[in-house]
Structure 1
């Protein structure tokens, strides 16, 4: 059995408050909102801001925002690789596939993560470039 991760407020992660669940949901969905507003270029800003504000207040929110941020870096890397392939001209079909997979994966996993946060569960993204913890 694993030990619960202590929260700065002294509680464990197994019982996040309603406020913590709300901010964790926002940490996951902020990436989608920021991507829509910035046409995909600033999807990491929302989770980064939430992580910066809540990193010392709530381990649950910190983990949600950090996971979202790290996952967005991997999606960003895939999109940049797609652009590099696009400019080689011969790999345009592959670039389009990479973009579609990256966007669909981003939507799918962020929505699943937000639903898990709503239930008070920690969501682990399938891949990511670990920068924030």
Structure 2
């Protein structure tokens, strides 16, 4: 009979149903917050979940931190788009950057939530590592 190896937080390596639910919310909170705040507060949802679960569950902490860090990269792309927009000549490129940032944000957050539902960790393709 095999026993699960405990992680540093004293839990088994297989996430529980509650951990999977909060990890899913950690990924989707960015989309939900973006819709509610017209995009301005998309980082708040993952940050709140990370703050609550950082010492309770490594699985939820990693999910929320990954979502937050990826959101920072999306925000950086959107800010670069605004800078391009104000140069006037780069307006078409700014629109492309915005579309790519929004579509990538939706796509990867949804894929990450689906992975969390299966109990798997998801690694975002790019991020600005602030939370761990």
TM-score interval w.r.t. the shorter chain? over 0.9
- 2:34 corresponds in structure 1 to 35
In structure 1, list runs of 5 or more residues that go unmatched.
none
State the TM-score, normalized to the length of structure 1.
Answer: 0.93
2:12 corresponding residue in structure 1 = 12
The equivalent residue for 2:73 is 74
Q: 1:5 deviation in Å?
A: 7.9
Task: Flag structure 2 segments of 5+ consecutive residues without an equivalent.
Answer: none
CA RMSD of aligned residues (A): 1.2
Q: Which runs of 4+ in 1 moved over 6 A?
A: none
Quote the residue 1:85 is aligned against. 84
SS in 1 for 2:105: helix
TM-score by length of 2: 0.94
Question: Quick one: structure 1 residues 5 and 42, their matched pair in 2 at CA, closer, same or farther if it must change by over 3 Å?
Answer: farther
Please give the alpha-carbon distance, in whole angstroms, between the structure 1 residues aligned to 2:8 and 2:16. Answer: 11
